Chain A
Amino acid sequence: AQSVSQHNHHVILSEAASLELGCNYSYGGTVNLFWYVQYPGQHLQLLLKYFSGDPLVKGIKGFEAEFIKSKFSFNLRKPSVQWSDTAEYFCAVNRKGGANNLFFGTGTRLTVIP
């Protein structure tokens, strides 16, 4: 069965600090990988996605993620966070060539202190 693990439940950083949120998946097959973000009081939005090609993908607002197939990981990074990055971040996966339904991790809450 598929699963997505986000081991960091709550991360607190000061502005300008670097960010890395972990995501590991377990899936029997090749996958597409996603990061979604939910800002306070807003709906989930796609931050970035990986389908194929360059394993380092860049998304909106300076975020990037690297797919490391050997580690079944898709960690999210940002070199310098801002207060406005305070949000909940969800990693998600679906099976390449399969249905479009996403399976999500439990989320990581990021709090950035000004």
Chain B
Amino acid sequence: GAGVSQSPSNKVTEKGKDVELRCDPISGHTALYWYRQSLGQGLEFLIYFQGNSAPDKSGLPSDRFSAERTGGSVSTLTIQRTQQEDSAVYLCASSSRQGAGNTIYFGEGSWLTVV
């Protein structure tokens, strides 16, 4: 597609349930990123995939969070046993090459509300 596509755009879930958020990066982009945007918190890095390399998971806030990227394209962010503090906008982004300085393009985000 023309841009980074994320689904669902909005998700309301009950505390304790698992959720999956999907990201389809720009075609041909080898790098994929997940960020979390919480009110007043700015953008928090979660995880970064680059090609076939092991992902950088250093930003995942707890072991309830995981992500995978199948076939070097689509990525799924999974949050297990959701908590109210997980409520945020989850942003996916991609870039064409690895290495600092390559423009990162963002999707419109998945707004997660845990009730």
Contacts and interface: CB of A to CB of B under 8 A. Distances in A.
A99 B56 contact: yes
A49 B45 CA distance: 19
Nearest to B106: A44
A94 interface: yes
B101 interface: yes
Bin chain A's interface residue count: 20 to 34
Interface string B98-109: 111111111111
Given A101-B45, A102-B45, A106-B40, A96 B100 contact: yes
A32 B91 contact: no
Contacts of A96: 100-101
Bin chain B's interface residue count: 20 to 34
A44 B91 contact: yes
Give the interface SS of chain A, mostly helix, strand, loop or mixed: loop
Give the interface centre of A6, A43, A104 by most chain B CB atoms within 10 Å. A43
Interface in A87-114: 90, 92, 94-107
Contacts of A46: 103-105
A100 B101 contact: yes
A96 B42 CA distance: 22
Contacts of B95: 100
A100 B51 CA distance: 13
Interface string B16-56: 00000000000000010101000011111100101000001
5 contacts: A6-B42, A96-B100, A100-B99, A101-B48, A104-B35
